[in-house]
Amino acid sequence: MTTRPIIIDTDPGIDDAVALAIALYSEQLDVRLITTVAGNVSLEKVTKNALRLLEFFGKDVPVALGAARPLIKAPIDASDIHGSTGMDGFDFKEPTQDRVLKEHAVNAMYRVIMASEQPTTLVPIGPLTNIALLLTMYPDVKEKIDEIVLMGGSTTRGNMGVMSEFNIAADPEAAKIVFQSNLPVVMVGLDVGWKALVYPEDSEQLKGMNQTGGMIYQLFQKYRGGSMKTGLKMYDSCAIAYLLKPEMFQVVETFVDVELNGSMTAGCTVVDLRGYLKQPSNAKVCVDIDPDMFKQWFMESLGKCN
């Protein structure tokens, strides 16, 4: 089976942790590099969390540290959702630093992508700062990028601002650079993340499934992205789901831009579903998901973990 080379840019993050588990244990994906970006919590904390997860999974994927802050705006975080460590709930053992590259994430991404025989898919599941820097510093990298499948944005309302989703709101200027890159971008936003829910009975099933399920069960006790009763939102896993089972999504090709200046709407993804702006489409947008198909895929995927 040919595997698909990917780089995951992440800010773990409890929902990132689940997405990383599914990706790392998938036989269809070849995770060439994990890059970290400040987002849910600080760069130091998200990097420590990425290393903790790789140690727990026993996966030797290199890790490169990226941006410690957004391009322009002041940093925000989501420690209220993920806890002060960014991954509260489970007592991970101290990870080795052997996986950490000395290169900056942007340089590591450029090296890995250009050295790859196959085009690489970028899977950002945090703020887009590193991706924007990569495309700006090394424009020739675009010829070796297959697709950018990002968790972020919303065609309707936000989860960080009235109209803005966290990953875009954290670095709207970076997001604008990515949507204007002329690369194949897939936006996997709140429209589907809000329906990708884990309920108490699912969580109980995870608890006894395997070591990874038991760890995730513990993290879910602290995760505030939704609630146990109404369902925990698996935002970042939706980006991985798009790579592995795209048929669960309803997708439209349309024009997307990012509002930078609105006093109340900065960070909002403007998704022009009805063509008012008369711009050519620049993204595939996931506008709906089959929640049953997601849940079956989600549980089966985690069943493949150790």
Whether 185 and 281 have beta carbons less than 8 Å apart is answered as no
Q: Is 86 in the site for Ca ion (CB under 5 A)?
A: no
Residues 126-145, interacting with Ca ion (CB under 5 A)? 126
Task: Write down the least CB distance from residue 64 to ligand RIB, Å.
Answer: 18
Asked whether the CA dihedral 92, 240, 181, 108 is positive or negative, the reply is positive
Two tokens at 175? 């997001």
Task: Write down the least CB distance from residue 252 to ligand RIB, Å.
Answer: 20
- Number of residues that make up the chain: 306
Q: Is 125 in the site for Ca ion (CB under 5 A)?
A: yes
Q: Which does 213 bind (CB under 5 to 8 A by kind): Ca ion, ligand RIB, none?
A: none
Task: Write down the least CB distance from residue 83 to ligand RIB, Å.
Answer: 12
Q: Which residue, chain included where needed, has tokens 């060439």?
A: 32
Of 204-212, 235-243, 262-270, 298-306: span binding Ca ion (CB under 5 A)? 235-243
Two tokens at 204? 């109980």
Q: Which does 257 bind (CB under 5 to 8 A by kind): ligand RIB, Ca ion, none?
A: none
Residues 26-85, interacting with Ca ion (CB under 5 A)? none
- Give the 3-state secondary structure of 43-94: HHHHHHHHHHHHHHHCCCCCEEECCCCCCCCCCCCCHHHHCCCCCCCCCCCC
Task: Write down the least CB distance from residue 303 to ligand RIB, Å.
Answer: 23
Q: Which residue, chain included where needed, has tokens 């849940």?
A: 295
Which stretches of the chain bind ligand RIB, using CB under 6 A? 11, 13, 15-16, 39-40, 78, 125-126, 151, 159, 165-167, 235-236
Beta strand extents in the chain (DSSP E only) = 4-10, 29-36, 63-65, 120-124, 145-151, 185-188, 197-198, 226-227, 231-233, 249-254, 256-258, 269-271, 283-289
Task: Write down the least CB distance from residue 153 to ligand RIB, Å.
Answer: 9
- Residue 16 or 110: the one with the smaller Cβ distance to ligand RIB is 16
Q: Which does 171 bind (CB under 5 to 8 A by kind): ligand RIB, Ca ion, none?
A: none
Q: Which residues bind Ca ion (CB under 5 A)?
A: 11, 13, 16, 125-126, 236
